Amino acid sequence: MRLDINLEKLKKDQQLLALCGVVIGFAFLIFFLLQTREESRPTVQGEAQLRTEIRAAKDDIADMSQKSSLDSVEGYWIALFEAASLSGLELVNSRVPDDQRYRGPLQSRTGVIEGETAVVLSTLHYLSKRIPLFLYSIKIQGPVTEVTVSVVGV
């Protein structure tokens, strides 16, 4: 049997193979480069979480906006002082332990209101509906009552 070796065809095939190799190699190189670029990009996540938090924050703002804005704490303190004086009570601007005073984001002033028990109770009952008032310790002894109060404002 005759062995036919066509050098031209072989050469052409070799050229085709080489060129195919170049194309495939280049395609792999591009693929590798693209993959490396993709992996090197910082991942961007958390969009859903952010949207949830923003929605919650908007809801909070809507709720908080329903509340009326406070006046200055000094104004409330004066109102408290005047109400106490009118009722015959004494408001003492004294130092109190931290756990017996307002601790929060608002400005505050703390004191002890002192006087006859019924008057103290009714005065505080009246004022708590009109000014931002926080009550802490209460001490009733004999006819006299002492209550530690904080007023808050801006």
Partner 1 sequence: MLLGDLLGKPLVIDGKEIILVDDRISDIGVVGAEIDTLVEIEPPDGVSPGFYISEPSLVAIRTSYPDHTMYGLWQALYHSGMLSGAEFVFLPFNENSGRYAQLEKQGDTWIPVISDVVTGGTLADGITEVSDVYRLDVDPSLLVLPDEQAMLHRERTAMIQQRSRRRYWQTAIVIGLIAVVGAIYEGAMMLSHSSQVSLIEDLRAEQRSLNERIGTLTRTRLLNEPDYNQTLERIFHLHTIDPGLETAQASRFDDDVILLLSRDTLPFLKTIDWVVPEITDDGGVAVVLSGE
Q: Contact positions toward partner 1, by CB under 8 A? A: 2, 4, 6, 8-9, 12, 15-16, 19, 22-23, 26-27, 30-31, 33-34, 37-38, 41, 44, 46-47, 50-51, 53-54, 57-58, 60-61, 64-65, 67-70, 100, 105-106, 117-118, 121-122, 124-125, 128-129, 132-143, 147, 152, 154
Residue 100: burial class (beta carbons within 10 Å; 0-12, 13-18, 19+):
middle
Q: Between residues 12 and 94, which has the closer beta carbon with respect to partner 1?
A: 12
In Å, what is the CA distance from 111 to each residue of 42, 44, 61, 136? 56, 53, 32, 10
CB of 41 to partner 1, least distance (A): 5
78 or 118: CB nearest partner 1: 118
Decide: helix, strand or coil at residue 43.
Answer: coil
Comparing CB distances to partner 1, the nearer of 36 and 86 is 36
Q: How far apart are the first and last CA of the chain?
A: 109
- In the complex, the smallest distance separating the C-beta of residue 15 from partner 1, rounded to whole angstroms, is 6
Give the residues across from 114 on adjacent strands: 90, 146
Find the shortest distance in angstroms from Cβ 16 to partner 1.
7
Residue type, 79: A
Residue 109: CB atoms within 10 Å: 19
Nearer to partner 1, 81 or 145 (CB): 145
